Structure 1
């Protein structure tokens, strides 16, 4: 095979982004009975589908990559094919398909059957055996209802034990001629009008977890599906309460966009941004499980890592540095060195001297200055591009004079003039080179320079807050903070425009500063974004107060904001308890609801002073008696002590994001890293200590809200100090 490897079948959209799917005719009830019953028939289809997937992988492995161009191209093609082979892996514990749709019979009485799964599988003749969940024909699986059946006669959900199909459940709509109903306890029946009544759906949602985040492709709800399948040209903002699945929705949206617009996003690329490395390790297996292995995942800190971060700011300094006014300050600083020429240009070529008067030179410089002054205009020119253009414009002025004198200069002549010493001297005087890191270093070290650039923007007190107490000697020795790195990123883009991606998913966005939003916005300036967050969970001093403001800083002011308030993971009792904090931390948000009821392991336990550690140990033992993962959440300051306590007690434990083992289900979680993580059971130590560790009470209560809502089955709150008043006021 030469050139680019042929696309996989699920990667072949037509001109409208749709994927051709060959109809599969529905077998009748008699055939199912002859095969031993519906369950046996479905198990046989699963076995045949797995065999077909193995054949697809074998076929991909047999392909050879050879290019007539270069060894480098061969390696690129080989890497691309390896990724495609990896996408065809059959994960034994992951159901190959999770649902089935039977359409309303047509005039001839025939109905079409589709098996819905994580990826496309076809047989030797090319006929589909499993339809990718992202294909247009799969949409009714998530959207059909009694009120709007969408030509669906029957929706069947499958239950699995490990990788084995062990149950099914039918939901009938108008027009269904009827099929055999399940007849035993292994094949429960649900005749409701939506997935809320499905026992298998509830079982999948509530299935205990150990290890990284799973995909939710089998349990996507209609309101989530609308977000997932939104048009590629739309930027969306999702305000989601805990447990509403906003992170999973964002990841599945990327998978959907890559399926329907693969070529478009392949050119620009897609990026997932999370709050920290622990969070990224937690979600890193979701997209590969959906067959997408080419999406980069990063933190905002990694995105702007132009300088090494070795220092830390005070809350006040970080807040000022993160303010949007710093963008205007930096713009002033970048162009502060631009000066009008003071002497004419005199260029000697051969026996003649060509002169360009000062007034004309000043006009050229002013034109370029106007080009970089178009703030926010898509036509604005970056400082570095203007510096590169200046010598050519000066050379053009000289060539005009040569032509008037009867000479015939060409492009080589203009380039030679642009590189001449007199022209370079004027460029260096009028438009000096700017190093972004050195510029920010000067701003943070030189009080006079900072005052000059921040006049009318920052108060004297704010200037003192951002100045380094001890000026650094150079870029390498400077103790840059995370907020400083964002400033360097802004300056870098002002000098040379950063490249834009096709789509960016920004999770836990509520904690970003305006300047961080700008940094992310630069990465999707010509693309789109999915912004995910919860204002109630903002725990930084500069946390988002309004999505309208945040989207403006991102450069997407017209983006639609959708609110998800129906939870599927956090139990009803837990979310109701945590929601007592909402009047204090986010009074404008609606209280979340949950479709889940706790199995009963929810308690707030008061213990005597001096008995806290023993009580927490007992709560951990109680949680570990149940199935699933356990998170012990403590204040950051208590983590080292608890590491020793757990080791001393012989209790195996993990850090957030670490791999898991069957016999290690406990994770010790610092409160500062809890955001975005989920555990089946959570033991939360001393809420008052979590609140007191933050710079102010409101931020502390938001941190507590985050920690309370990490539980997806059981929550044990253990405390010796009085609980925060906001928690007890409603009790």
Structure 2
């Protein structure tokens, strides 16, 4: 198919050079979309329908030289029974075949006769082997192993938004990414115009998942963090937990709305427009009524500012008509551009620079007190003020939370463009103001919200999905829960779930379909010997196939890096490509969320807990760290473990 596209001769087939360029760009895009990924098989299953019709199911559509289909895209309706058919509900499928691969080579196949009563229903060994296959490198797609409850979420319609609460290892991130691929397949034209976006918690996470959509043939989906979305100012500073929590509170939206409109004033002088030999006068009280009418409407500040000169021009045109003239739209536009009208607008409705407004709010105690009166307490106002007044936007000590405030003001001034679909992963960690920043980017589109309340590790982590969806502007979104794990071994998820009564008592404990319990150990050792014991545990883990992650409190990372170097164990930073001889990654606990490793060595749980501002957040951080393992987990500690994990 790619060679056919490359061999097309489009010379002299268009009327002009513009059409030729458009045609060439389309053809080049088609050729790029047909690129192969090394060691990625084109098909992974087969369906034999009743009556006899056979379809091979794969990552993308493939046809032969005559145009007849050889492989059916997994997203096509005819492929759906591959994921949902069963003995109880065969869905007209006589046989379902799964293919097994090793390094791109076909190695095995397995048949399920769904309509044959003599063929007992057993679990798929190939499916189990694929789920338990070692993880090396970036996250891979799960297109061959999607389960029925996951498939229902993947194929949910685009009309409504969807929230997925998923325990560790339930595949919620993969489900969200495959949902994007499915929506692009079924609503290609609509989403290609409006655009799609995947929002992740940090750049390491985005690097980890970046190959999933290209493996499914989707190259145009943008991936970003919340910080990337609101990059209006250079972020150099960092807030403490108290200041960040207040700046992230939804009440700040009210403060900012007041601040944006604080510069609007009522006209004190009439507006006199001179056209030719005539002078047209609009009294100050009439101008004031125009300003008040615009203030009363729920319009964006910039749109209202653009409307004001037109309103004044209309008042002038009414006077012209009363005087017997017949002005048209061109006259009204000319009056709106008149210097006298511009002077009124500049005085009464001044332009607002979002960054400068937030800078003033965080630097000027009196201005902040005026705008936050009745909304923030005096103590809260003091907490968010900068220690030193900033001299300018570029030199200001902007924090990540400040950038979100600038984005809020920017939207109050002018509408943020809306995308067709947004996937928000690890959503439980966002503040209300961050939710608002993401939500306004799909105000007219739909969302897929992914997260786990139990993994909320920020001081402002959401208490409920109902609250989060309200801030996102999607209060009617359906909430689905995934509790069947496919990644975390049974013993590991059971051990980590002991923390749920303290960190998220309302959630159900996850179960695992993993047949192997996994390698699991908890080892105590004296404090002076802890570093050496951790290094030795990493060495043991590297004897196994797959990736190894050493997860530790951020403050412990430098010392462990020195110990690994001294022991001759090369290691990587999160998000770095693994390769031969470099399968070990040293992971700060604050960056572990969303990542997965075949074997995890967890250093000193007490240090991970103590690094957080409160015990509940610390236990949640520990819960996240414990559940990064795919095949094995070794916990090493010198300090006492939390009571729930001690026995």
Q: Shorter-chain-normalised TM-score: which range?
A: over 0.9
Q: 1:245 to 1:600 in 2, by over 3 A?
A: closer
In 2, Cα distance between the equivalents of 1:257 and 1:656? 30
SS in 1 for 2:443: coil
Q: 1:660 to 1:520 in 2, by over 3 A?
A: same
Q: CA deviation at 1:115?
A: 0.6
Among 191, 198, 210, the residue aligned to 1:272? 198
> With CA pairs under 8 Å and 6+ residues apart, which has the higher RCO, 1 or 2?
2
Among 293, 310, 326, the residue aligned to 2:219? 293
In 2, Cα distance between the equivalents of 1:677 and 1:74? 45
1:675 matched residue in structure 2:
593
Q: Does 1:63 align with 2:63?
A: no
Q: Does 1:90 align with 2:23?
A: no
Among 561, 575, 584, the residue aligned to 2:493? 575
1:29 matched residue in structure 2:
none
User: Cα deviations across residues 224-248 of structure 1 (Å, max 9, x unaligned)?
Assistant: 0000000011200000000000000
SS in 1 for 2:47: strand
2:431 matched residue in structure 1:
513
Contact 2:491–2:518 (CA under 8 A) maintained in structure 1: no
In 2, Cα distance between the equivalents of 1:599 and 1:59? 49
In 2, Cα distance between the equivalents of 1:447 and 1:590? 47
Q: CA deviation at 1:69?
A: 6.2
Q: Does 1:453 align with 2:371?
A: yes
Q: CA deviation at 1:412?
A: 2.7
Q: 1:404 to 1:69 in 2, by over 3 A?
A: farther
User: Cα deviations across residues 520-560 of structure 1 (Å, max 9, x unaligned)?
Assistant: 00000000000000010000000011000000000000000
Equivalent residue runs for 1:712-731 within 5 Å: 712-728=630-646, 731=647
Among 335, 338, 352, the residue aligned to 1:417? 335
1:487 matched residue in structure 2:
405
Contact 2:490–2:517 (CA under 8 A) maintained in structure 1: no
Q: CA deviation at 1:600?
A: 4.4
Q: CA deviation at 1:583?
A: 0.7
SS in 2 for 1:243: coil
Among 140, 160, 173, the residue aligned to 1:247? 173
Contact 1:508–1:533 (CA under 8 A) maintained in structure 2: yes
Contact 2:489–2:518 (CA under 8 A) maintained in structure 1: no
User: Cα deviations across residues 399-448 of structure 1 (Å, max 9, x unaligned)?
Assistant: 11111111222333222211112111111111111111111111111111
User: Cα deviations across residues 668-707 of structure 1 (Å, max 9, x unaligned)?
Assistant: 1111100000000000000001101111111111000000
Q: Does 1:343 align with 2:269?
A: yes
2:469 matched residue in structure 1:
551
Q: Mind listing any 5+ residue stretches in structure 1 that lack a counterpart?
A: 1-55, 106-110, 179-189, 375-380
In 2, Cα distance between the equivalents of 1:300 and 1:68? 45
Q: CA deviation at 1:296?
A: 0.5
Contact 2:532–2:563 (CA under 8 A) maintained in structure 1: no
SS in 1 for 2:193: helix
Q: CA deviation at 1:75?
A: 5.9
User: Cα deviations across residues 197-248 of structure 1 (Å, max 9, x unaligned)?
Assistant: 1000000000001100000000000000000000011200000000000000
In 2, Cα distance between the equivalents of 1:661 and 1:133? 30
Q: 1:277 to 1:77 in 2, by over 3 A?
A: farther
SS in 1 for 2:206: helix
Among 192, 207, 215, the residue aligned to 2:121? 192
Q: 1:68 to 1:726 in 2, by over 3 A?
A: farther
SS in 2 for 1:526: coil
Q: Does 1:314 align with 2:209?
A: no
Among 138, 146, 150, the residue aligned to 1:212? 138
Q: 1:127 to 1:541 in 2, by over 3 A?
A: same
2:560 matched residue in structure 1:
642
The alignment's TM-score, normalised by the length of structure 1, stands at 0.86
Contact 1:237–1:560 (CA under 8 A) maintained in structure 2: yes
Contact 1:123–1:129 (CA under 8 A) maintained in structure 2: yes
Equivalent residue runs for 1:118-517 within 5 Å: 118-174=59-115, 191-192=120-121, 197-371=123-297, 374=298, 381-517=299-435
Q: CA deviation at 1:660?
A: 1.8
Q: CA deviation at 1:639?
A: 1.6
Q: 1:469 to 1:613 in 2, by over 3 A?
A: same
Q: Does 1:663 align with 2:581?
A: yes
SS in 1 for 2:419: coil
Contact 1:344–1:361 (CA under 8 A) maintained in structure 2: yes
SS in 2 for 1:713: strand
1:50 matched residue in structure 2:
none
Contact 1:633–1:707 (CA under 8 A) maintained in structure 2: yes
In 2, Cα distance between the equivalents of 1:255 and 1:388? 40
Equivalent residue runs for 1:601-640 within 5 Å: 601-640=519-558
User: Cα deviations across residues 174-214 of structure 1 (Å, max 9, x unaligned)?
Assistant: 269x9xxxxxxxxxxx8426xxx100000000000110000
In 2, Cα distance between the equivalents of 1:118 and 1:454? 54
Contact 1:104–1:175 (CA under 8 A) maintained in structure 2: no
In 2, Cα distance between the equivalents of 1:556 and 1:63? 47
SS in 2 for 1:610: helix
The alignment's TM-score, normalised by the length of structure 2, stands at 0.97
Q: CA deviation at 1:343?
A: 1.4
User: Cα deviations across residues 637-686 of structure 1 (Å, max 9, x unaligned)?
Assistant: 12222222222222121111111212211111111100000000000000
In 2, Cα distance between the equivalents of 1:75 and 1:640? 54
Q: 1:150 to 1:64 in 2, by over 3 A?
A: same
In 2, Cα distance between the equivalents of 1:500 and 1:587? 36
Q: CA deviation at 1:80?
A: 4.6
In 1, Cα distance between the equivalents of 2:482 and 2:581? 36
Q: Does 1:701 align with 2:641?
A: no
Q: CA deviation at 1:119?
A: 0.5
User: Cα deviations across residues 144-188 of structure 1 (Å, max 9, x unaligned)?
Assistant: 111111111111111112211121111111269x9xxxxxxxxxx
Q: CA deviation at 1:78?
A: 4.5
Contact 1:235–1:556 (CA under 8 A) maintained in structure 2: yes
Q: CA deviation at 1:90?
A: 2.9
